[in-house]
Amino acid sequence: MLLLLPPSETKRDGGDPLALSLDALSFPSLRDARQRVLTTTSELAADADAMMRALKLGPRQAAEVDRNRQLWTSPTMPALDRYTGVLYDALDVASLDRAARAYAAEHVAVHSALFGIVGAADPIPAYRLSHDSRLPDLRLKSQWREPIRGVLAGQPGLIVDLRSEGYVELGPAPVRPDSVFLRVVSVDSGGRRRALNHFNKRAKGLFTRALLEARPALETRDDLMAWSADAGFRLELGVERTAAPVELELVA
């Protein structure tokens, strides 16, 4: 199973003094695309005003430019520790035991606009780049879509996609019975369903943590739904979409 998480705009500072090495990252077929996006981002950061315009940053966010300027030299830490925000606060990586972290290293990946798909334990620096960032002379979608599509198509077994739709556009998951897209919804008293925002992220974090603590052997969509029910999560088949992975709704 591969559990595919979205990133967060907010990152934790610090880490191991060992600098970024592309050879230390999972999914090595993404190396060339990573090199191009990293080079473009770090070079643009030499012009603070241009970088702030590209990232739509305000004056109080100037430190984000420094992060991008120092991508090749700043400290690194495992991707799952690097990200902060609602999803990652609910996941609470720091409190996971060794077995849960080992399971995450094998089964969890994060989709970064800067690095593409990275493993949960991959060492990465702090950075600022989002799926909708606009870099001069480089379109993120054209750089990532086909390489990431290829990586995910070659991934055996169950794929559980928890990404936002913006990141799905940067690299769609394969359309097959064991590839599912998970959407968080609420149901009102009249039975009407609506997508959530803040609670969407929190629900995904709690769902991920439960998986890491239980460490089930999941091979199929039915396995996932059966485990979810036993773990107290209400997971239902969603609306069928043409030429898209099966959609599951996590009712929060």
Q: What is the pLDDT of residue 241?
A: 75
Whole-number pLDDT of residue 240: 75
**Structure pTM?**
0.93
pLDDT of residue 60: 85
What is the model's pLDDT at position 33?
97
Q: Identify the segments of the chain with pLDDT beneath 70.
A: 188-191, 196-198
Using CA atoms, how far apart are residues 160 and 220, in angstroms rounded to an integer?
10
What is the pLDDT at residue 61?
Answer: 87
Q: Can you give the pLDDT at residue 187?
A: 74
Alpha carbon of residue 224 to chain centroid: 19
Query: What long-range pairs does 215-221 form, CB within 8 A, spacing at least 24?
Result: 215/99, 215/100, 215/103, 218/1, 218/158, 219/1, 219/157, 219/158, 219/178, 220/158, 220/177, 220/178, 221/158, 221/177, 221/178, 221/180, 221/246, 221/248
Structural element, H or E, at residue 193: strand 193-195
Specify the pLDDT at position 188: 67
Half-sphere exposure of 230 (CA within 13 A, CB side): 9
